[in-house]
Amino acid sequence: MTYFIGIDSSTTATKALLMTADGAVVGAASSSYNYETPQPLWSEQRPELWWDATVSSIQQVLAESGVAATAVKGIGLTGQMHGLVLLDKNGDVLRPAILWNDQRTGAECDEMRTKVGKQRLIDITGNDALTGFTAPKILWVKNNEPEIYAQIDQILLPKDYVRFKLTGGYATDKAGGAGTQLFDVRRRDWSVELLEALEINPDWLPKTFEGTAVTGTLNTAAAETTGLPAGIPVVGGGGDQAANAVGTGAVVDGIVALSLGTSGVVFASSDEPIVEENGRLHAFCHAAPGKWHLMGVMLSAAGSLRWFHDTLAPDTSYDDLLAPAAAVPPGSEGLLFLPYLTGERTPHPDPLARGAFVGLTVRHTQAHMARAVIEGVAFGLRDSFELMKNAGLPPITQIRASGGGTKSALWRQILADVLQAEIVTINTAEGAAYGAAILAAVGTGVFESVEAACEQLIHVTGRTKVSGDTAVYDQIYPLYRQLYPALKPTFNAAAKLA
């Protein structure tokens, strides 16, 4: 039997997943760690934590599965995107990595817009400048830690530091590279124009590879540390959302991945590069070779229901909380919920946006409020779908849903009706690590393409079709859309009071 390992280095843990050549998951192990917030808005992590956790998880999954290390024939990498890892000429870490959720770089985002021009920035990279991306983090180090900046010899993303420790070489995948905002998204490589405008040395950036390309092999030191044999191919892999899309089969036009976790992510594959003209959607290269994707992110999806539960019904199970909501008519009898409890990203990149119930009357009960919450999240996700449609995305034929929120049959039905597309569940639930393992299997020749692998390995297990409630939600959605513009001045004023 041939096996492949998918390694996912997330913000809180590194997971190693062991997959057979026919797609069966035979084991998974995870090693956790913390990140630091040394100042307000800062978020940092020591890269050594990812490597230690990678070693531990590989050793654990091999031991628990009983699989011989010699049977592993490929490794795929994925992990948190946008983080900044700086190495010196000896390959030593210069400072803790600045993570994707770090918010210190507002001034550097403005600097990028000034030096490049906002519209030109969107045209080249597919995105407006955001504090989470890698490029403004580089400028922050230049502006605030010149002694560190002067020692830079290599810039890597988090998962690519793990790659460096595995292979001894510097490389990144094109999906991850696009997330740095230093990429020409259409050319699928570093933008010379941007690097010159921002005065970033191109020699600091690694060579880029498609997600299935072999970027190196396991070196002797890593083999001795992990217990794997030297020489195992390590493929490009992809950022966590791109790898998760591979793991759910969202690699062809028409199939969209919807993740309904604490945050909500809408991920749509495309055979052509599509850029939303105002940069309100993320436009990146896909981990599937020669493909691109659009992505919308809302910050409080299932997190909104968790807040409602924990605040108003902490002693009630989620099932009992939502059961009465199924008897409430669509639209919750005029009650609307705005799910911006932690600010928002798509379609309103506004950290000061706030949540709200609008339309409350004495007729409304807890059941009305619960239904309004999940309807509001569905409307928030529809915002991303509308942007994608208007940007020119091919028609959506199927939405593959994952995440804790999709366990609710009521929520799946509301999503189908609000988004006007069939919601399906699939046979895989391992996410990005599974996608990374698939990329390794394709890269080592088990499958001829990512599309072929997904078609063979990923199957629909449940379907929720659109019901007759679509017309009702079509009437309510424009009312939902009016809430943010009307309340934005209030949000801004309230933030100053807070």
3-state secondary structure of 195: helix
3-state secondary structure of 211: coil
| Count, residues in the chain | 498
> Which residues are within 8 A (CB) of 117 and not within 5 positions of it... i.e. 6 or more apart?
none
How many whole angstroms separate alpha carbon 240 and alpha carbon 242? Answer: 6
CB 259 within 8 A of CB 267: yes
Sign of CA pseudo-dihedral 51, 161, 65, 425: positive
In order along its 498 residues, the chain shows pLDDT tens digits of 899 999 999 999 999 999 999 999 999 999 999 999 999 889 999 999 999 999 999 999 999 999 999 999 999 999 999 999 999 999 999 999 999 988 899 999 999 999 999 999 999 999 999 998 999 999 999 999 999 999 999 999 999 999 999 999 999 999 999 999 999 999 999 999 999 999 999 999 999 999 999 999 999 999 999 999 999 999 999 999 999 999 999 999 999 999 998 889 999 999 999 999 999 999 999 999 999 999 999 989 999 999 999 999 999 999 999 999 999 999 999 999 999 998 898 999 888 899 999 999 999 999 999 999 999 999 999 999 999 999 999 889 899 998 889 899 999 999 999 999 999 999 988 889 999 999 999 999 999 999 999 999 999 999 999 999 999 999 999 999 999 999 999 999 998 887
> What are the residue boundaries of the structural domains of the chain, listed by start?
3-236, 250-498
Whether the domain at 3-236 and the domain at 250-498 fall into the same CATH topology: yes
Whether 491 and 353 have beta carbons less than 8 Å apart is answered as yes
Radius of gyration of the chain (CA): 22
For 485, counting Cβ atoms within 10 Å of its Cβ (0-12 exposed, 13-18 middle, 19+ buried), the class is exposed
Q: What are phi and psi of 308, to 5 degrees?
A: -60, -45
DSSP string for 414-440: HHHHHHTS-EEEES---THHHHHHHHH
Q: What values do phi and psi take at 174, rounded to 5?
A: -75, -30
Q: Rounded to an integer, what distance in angstroms lies between the CA atom of residue 279 and that of residue 123?
A: 9
Per the CB < 8 A criterion, the answer to whether 234 and 217 are in contact is yes
Q: Could you tell me the CA-to-CA distances from 322 to 67, 234, 257, 381, 407 in Å, in that order?
A: 43, 45, 24, 20, 12
pLDDT at site 103: 87
Amino acid at 289: P
Q: Take residue 204 and report the two structure tokens written for it.
A: 């600091």
Among the four given CATH numbers 3.40.50.300, 3.40.50.2020, 3.30.420.40, 3.40.50.970, the one describing domain 250-498 = 3.30.420.40
- Angle (CA) 37-40-46 rounded to 5° is 20
Residue 431 pLDDT: 84
Q: Is 184 a catalytic site residue?
A: no
Q: What pLDDT is recorded for position 264?
A: 92
The one catalytic residue in 8, 160, 184, 240 is 240
pLDDT, position 349: 86
**Exposed / middle / buried, residue 202 (Cβ in 10 Å: 0-12, 13-18, 19+):** exposed
Predicted pLDDT at 261: 87
Q: Which CATH number fits domain 3-236: 3.10.520.10, 3.30.420.40, 1.20.990.10, 3.20.20.100?
A: 3.30.420.40
pLDDT of residue 168: 98
In this prediction the pTM is 0.91
Q: Which secondary-structure segment (H or E) carries 319?
A: helix 318-322
